[in-house]
Chains A and B, each alone.
Chain A
C-alpha cells in the first residue's frame, strides 16, 4: 500500500476528485494548506505599502491506494491538476505500514 500526497491548486480540486472517482477511488482526505515552491509568492498592496505574500493557498489531497493502482492514480492526478502554469504542485508517494477501518476493525487492503 502506498500513500499519495498531492499538493494542488485549490481550483483544480473538483477535477481531481471527479477524475479519481472515475477510476474507482472511493475516498480521500483534503486539507487547506499554504506553501510555495519555485513560483514564489506575489506582492499585494495595503494602505499604500507593498508587501510580499510568500505562502500561497494550496490544497493537499491525501489517499492510500493498493500498489497495483498506484501508477493509474498518479497519472490521473497529474493530468487533472495540471494547468501548465507555474505553481501546479507536486505529488509525494510513500509506503504505508498498516491501515485499520475504525468501524469494523478490518485491516490492510480491505480497509482502504
Chain B
C-alpha cells in the first residue's frame, strides 16, 4: 500500500487535467456566442489551433523551460506534465478571445508558438517552477496558487498588447461614438461560461497538488468550495449592479461577473476561510461591471470582456491574497504580491508587444476591412458556421 498516495495523486492530477481541458470548449462556446454569426467558424478554429499549438510547444520545450526537469516523486511524471500542460492553452485563449472578429489565424498561431514555448514557461519558471530569478532582486515572493497572475493576467497583458497594435473591429467606434455589436447566440455564451466555471474546480483544486492525505483532501475541498463561492458572489453582484445602474439584467455581464469572481479567487482559494471569498468574488464581479464600459471609453475593443475578467481580476485576485491572507512569517505580504504583479506585467507586456509588433510587420494580425465585412468564416476558413438562410429544407 506504500504506492497508495502516488496512485491517488496521479488519478487526482489526471481528473483535474480533464476538467481544465473542458475549459477549451468553454472558451470556444463563450466566444462563438459573443461574436457575430459570420465569424463563428473562425473563432472556433482559433480556439482549436491554440490548444494544439500551445500544448505541443509545451511538450517540446515549455515544460523543461518552466520546471527544469520532468522529475516528480509524488505522482506519475506523465500526469504531472499533463496537468501543467492543460494550463498553457488558457493563457492564449484569454488573449485570442479579446481580439475576436478581426484576428487572422496564421499570425495568432505564430504568436501561440512563442506564448506556449517561451513566454508562459518563463513566467511559470520564476513563479512555480525552477526559479531562475532566485537570489536576485527580482526574486518573486508572490503567492499565486492557481495563477491569477501567472495565467490570467499573463493572458491579459498579452491581450492588451495585441489590442493596442491591432485596433478595434471595423465600425466599432464611429465618430467618437461606441457602436454596439450584439452577441449572436446567448445560449452558447451561457454554456461556455458554465463550462469554464466547472473547469475551474480542476484548475484551482488540482493546483493544491496532492489529495492523498486527510489534510490535503480538506485543503482541496476547501479550495473548490471557495472557488465556487467566489463565482456565485461575482454573478450575484454583477446582476445586482447591472440592475441598479441600467435597470436591466444582462446575462453576458452576469456571466462575466461570475468569471471575474473566479479569476479573483484563483490566487489563494486554499488560504481563505469559507466566507472571505464572498468579498473577493463580489469585488471581482463589480470590477467587471465598471471595467467593461471603461475599456470601451478607452477604445480598447474587447468583444468578450477578457480584459475586464482576466487582466483586471488577475491583478485584483493577486492583491487580495496580500490583503486577506498576508502571513509575513510564511513570506506572503502585500508588497510581495505587488512585486509579482509588476514583474510579470512588465515582462509579459513588453515581450508580447515586441513579438506581436514584429510578426505584425510581416503577417498582419488584423483582417482587412473588406474581409471583416464579409466575415472571417469565408475569408479565413472557407466554411461558414451557419450557411443556410434561416431554415433550409
Contact = CB atoms under 8 A, between A and B. Distances in A.
Is B a genuine binding partner of A? yes
Contacts of B250: 45-48
Interface string A33-60: 0000000000011111111000000000
Contacts, number: 33
B371 interface: no
Contacts of B178: 49
Contact of A50 (B180, B252, B305): B180
Contacts of A47: 180, 250, 252-253, 292-293, 305
Contacts of A49: 178, 180, 293, 296
Contacts of A45: 246, 248, 250
A51 B183 CA distance: 13
Interface residues of B, number: 17
A46 B289 CA distance: 12
A78 B305 CA distance: 47
Contacts of A50: 180
Nearest to B252: A47
B376 to A, nearest CB: 21
Contacts of B180: 46-47, 49-51
Contacts of B253: 47-48
Interface string B51-82: 00000000000000000000000000000000
A3 to B, nearest CB: 24
A71 B200 CA distance: 66
Nearest to A51: B180
Interface string B224-257: 0000000000000000001001101010110000
B368 interface: no
B171 interface: no
A44 B180 CA distance: 10
Nearest to B178: A49
A49 B179 CA distance: 9
A48 B179 CA distance: 12
Interface of B: 178-180, 182-183, 242, 245-246, 248, 250, 252-253, 289, 292-293, 296, 305
Interface of A: 44-51
6 contacts: A44-B182, A45-B246, A46-B183, A48-B289, A48-B293, A48-B296
Given A45-B248, A48-B246, 9 more contacts: A45-B246, A46-B180, A47-B253, A47-B305, A49-B180, A49-B293, A49-B296, A50-B180, A51-B182
